[in-house]
Amino acid sequence: MDLKTYTWQGYARKNGKKGIRNKVLVVYTVECASFVAKEIARLADSKDVDVIGFSGCTDNDYAIRLLISLIRHPNVGAVLAVGLGCEYVQPEKLSDIAAAEGKHSSWMFIQNEGGTRKTIEKGLGLVKDMLEKLKETPRVEMDFSDLIVGAECGGSDYTSGLAGNTVVGAFYDKLVEAGGTAVFEEIVEAVGLIDLLRSRAADEQAAREITAVYDKAMDYCRSVHQYSISPGNFVGGLSTIEEKSMGAVVKSGSKPVQGVLKVGQTPEKAGLWLLDSTPDPHWMQFGITNPNDNEGLMDLISCGAQVAFLVTGRGNVVGSAVAPVIKITGNHHTYQKMEEDMDFDASEMLRTANRLEPLALALAKLTADVCGGQESKAEKLGHKEYFIPYKYQDKPAKRCGGQTEDAGARQ
Partner 1 sequence: MTEKKQTEQTAFQIHRQDNVATALAPLSPGPVRLTGEADQPGLTALEEIPDGHKIAVTDIRAETPIIKYGIPIGTATADISRGAWVHLHCMRSNYDERSSHLDLRTGVPTDSEYL
Instruction: Give the span between the Cα atoms of 160 and 136, in whole angstroms.
Output: 42
Q: How far is the CB of 236 from partner 1 (least distance, A)?
A: 5
Q: Under the criterion CB under 8 A, does residue 353 sit at the interface with partner 1?
A: yes
CA 350 remoteness from chain centre: 28
Q: Which of residues 184-223 bind partner 1 (CB under 8 A)?
A: 191-193, 196, 218, 221
DSSP state, residue 372: T
DSSP at 12? E
> Would you give the binding string for partner 1 spanning residues 166-185, x where CB under 8 A is met?
x-------------------
Of 159, 289, 306, 367, which one interacts with partner 1 (CB under 8 A)?
Answer: 159
Query: Counting contacts by CB under 8 A, is residue 232 touching partner 1?
Result: yes
* Cα distances (angstroms) measured from residue 6 to each of 22, 142, 361, 371: 20, 9, 11, 10
- What span, in angstroms and rounded, lies between the C-alpha atoms of 68 and 59? 13
Among 138, 231, 382, 408, binds partner 1 (CB under 8 A): 231
Of 58, 145, 199, 239, the one binding partner 1 by CB under 8 A: 239
The nearest distance, CB 329 to partner 1, in angstroms, is 14
Q: For the purposes of burial, counting CB atoms within 10 Å of the CB of 194, is it exposed (0-12), middle (13-18) or buried (19 or more)?
A: middle
Residue 379 binds to partner 1 (criterion: CB under 8 A): no
Which residue among 119, 233, 294, 320 contacts partner 1 (CB under 8 A)? 233
Q: Which is nearer to partner 1, 138 or 231 (CB)?
A: 231
The full 3-state SS of 282-325, as one line of letters, equals CCCCCCCCCCCHHHHHHHHHHCCCCEEEEECCCCCCCCCCCCCE
- According to DSSP, the β-strands at 8-12 and 18-19 are antiparallel
- Kindly determine how many residues on this chain lie close enough to bind partner 1 according to the rule CB under 8 A: 36
Q: Of the candidates 145, 226, 254, 336, which one interacts with partner 1 according to CB under 8 A?
A: 226
Q: Which residues bind partner 1 (CB under 8 A)?
A: 157-159, 161-162, 166, 191-193, 196, 218, 221, 225-227, 229-237, 239-243, 246-247, 250, 350-353
